[in-house]
Structure 1
């Protein structure tokens, strides 16, 4: 009896030793065997094929001409500022005495005509709340020795355009006063540059998102200084011949592309439009803090003496210039400016906006027509 029990115990002990021994595959339970589905090793089975890795950085400009980068959508959603429905009116620089009539609703058209000197026309686009702003100021209409005008095309909301319209004229004026009182050589171009950069720095300090393209015209003692940062444009009529006084700052420009790439950025073509880091389609402007390393606020300025053959100046956002050429704009406006003493520039503004709309413009359109003959010294 005892020997039979002892024999059974010995057998159980031996069985336990065999199961626990790692060298014995005979008793290794089948569920613990590693299969191709549990370990992702290359094989012909579709279940074992490893997932393809998605590159975040966009390819080079040569390698990819028209296809957007795989990671650009993620960057776009995270970094592009949201649309803001602020319903803020156009404004005038603080140092100006002119009062501009403003709309009560963001979707209304703004129309301003001032004693034959200039006309303003702003129309909301079809993409959302208007993001354009403007400034128009003639401190002393009787003397007409000084004036300041500007169009500001906002993107990612209207905060940057609003801020620029309120402050850029005052900052330029302050830079001029500092230059006059100092020992440095007075330069209008330098004062304008400092005014643009100061406006940009102050806006970035507020921590607001969005940006704005700018085009401004400063008239002082018969001198005309036109500046821009972005794709807003200034076109002058010389005896009926259109001449662009500014250059659109787009990432596809050779000099802008070279500058951006030298700073470590890249330019990619998304749906036929060149964009910095696959997001922004302009390379200069106020704001755009998330792209500030490449989107500079430094303007390009052209200064010239107002001559009798200078008829009028058009400042406008790209909502107009994307659909209307420089010469077409001059041809539309000129018949309304034949009578220098009683020009119909507001009607000319309306015709230009109608033409752009008929050709499919969906963007906000803001423009100012300035009668340069009124400022001839």
Structure 2
């Protein structure tokens, strides 16, 4: 890197020389003592002066407000601590876990409009990366568009099959890039009065029906008997390591996008559930396992419920999400935690 350094200047009567950085340089001035017996007016030194760089301060970027295809920002080069978003109809709050070096969770919100500019469908997602953030960044940027493309081109009566093909195509595309790591995903598509929820891994979707929590997904863990049998039928094994069930003694989820080294056993095929949105469907919670490991489904709904019964038709959803994350942290969660709350009546028509 060019630090914009001015060549050393030496005073004939001085035992020191100084190196100065330009105002734009990240380098600081260093004063170095000459070796004893060195010729003082010789400007060509056998040893270059030591340069020190200022350690950059940790960047704390609390808010990301992208307006189209809203994704948690690419944070591979900055140390983001938290992200919060408030848009009409949904809110997001993510916080880095104390055991993590950087936030590896991402989110997405994709919208498609009709000829009159009215939103006819919305696709939301929460993505929990492991082994780095690359897979989560990929899924946040690409999965929604790939799914919507399959829905446009595929048989309209085969929604579940089209979404499955979208997940598998996204997985194949990510693996072609030879990137490491993987990502658990939960997505929710709202269109024509229907709610279609899909997941791989242990991100979860929970809906509030008149204040009663109902999970719409099942976590894909190696401890599940059906998942264990599927893995073993392909020559893999599942064992318990320090109280956590893992595939090949490694991964604690049995489905994900990515995870090239375990792809023989870790499938990206999602489970999907289709519901007709009814008047008692209040809101949908999408969250990573950083929440669900510490907070039950009903507790999560109970925390969000007051934001919808406070008399406002525009609840402060990012604050509702933040409250859930803070509850999980207060109970000892040290994992990245991301929560999205969707106000269903905003997208149901």
TM-score range relative to shorter protein: 0.7 to 0.9
User: Against the structure 1 CA distance between its residues 147 and 178, is the aligned structure 2 distance closer, same or farther, given a 3 Å change threshold?
Assistant: same
| Residue 161 (structure 1) aligned with residue 136 (structure 2) | yes
**Equivalent residue number for residue 232 of structure 1:** 203
Task: Work out which of the residue numbers 64, 69, 90 in structure 2 matches 1:118.
Answer: 90
Work out whether residues 62 and 83 of structure 2, in 8 Å CA contact, stay in contact via their aligned partners in 1. Answer: no
Q: 1:329 Cα shift?
A: 0.1
Larger relative helix fraction = 1
Work out whether 1:344 is the aligned partner of 2:344: no
Cα-to-partner distance string for 1:320-368 (whole Å, 9 max, x where unaligned):
0000000000000000012461212221111101100100000011111
- In the alignment, is residue 215 of structure 1 matched against residue 173 of structure 2? no
Contact 1:235 1:315 (8 Å CA) reproduced: yes
More strand by share: 2
Equivalent residues, number? 284
- TM-score normalised by structure 2 residue count: 0.77
Contact 1:89-1:133 at 8 Å conserved across structures: no
CA distance, structure 1, for counterparts of residue 154 and residue 318 of structure 2? 37
C-alpha separation in 2, matches of 1:356 and 1:309: 27
Asked if structure 2 preserves the Cα contact closer than 8 Å seen for 1:150 and 1:315, the reply is yes
Q: CA deviation at 1:215?
A: 0.2
1:161-210 CA distance string (max 9 Å, x none): 11111111111112112215xxxx63111111000000000111111110
What is residue 179 of structure 1 aligned with on the other side?
A: 154
Give a deviation string over 1:231-284, Cα, whole Å, max 9, x none.
Answer: 000000000000000000000001000101111110010000000000100000
Alignment correspondent of 2:240: 269
C-alpha distance in 2, partners of 1:355/1:337?
A: 19
**In the alignment, is residue 369 of structure 1 matched against residue 344 of structure 2?**
no
- SS in structure 1 of the partner of residue 341 of structure 2: strand
SS at match of 2:154: helix
Of 253-262 and 131-140, deviating more is 131-140
User: Cα RMSD between the aligned structures?
Assistant: 2.5
Q: How far is the alpha carbon of 1:376 from its aligned partner? A: 3.0
Counterpart position of 2:176: 205
1:328 to 299, 302, 308: 299
Q: Which has the larger radius of gyration?
A: 1
Shift of 1:221: 1.2
For residues 111-160 of structure 1, the C-alpha deviation after alignment (integer angstroms, 9 at most, x for no partner) is 11112x00011111112211111102334497342101000000000111
Where does the alignment leave 5 or more consecutive residues of structure 2 unmatched?
1-59
Gaps of 5+ in 1: 1-86
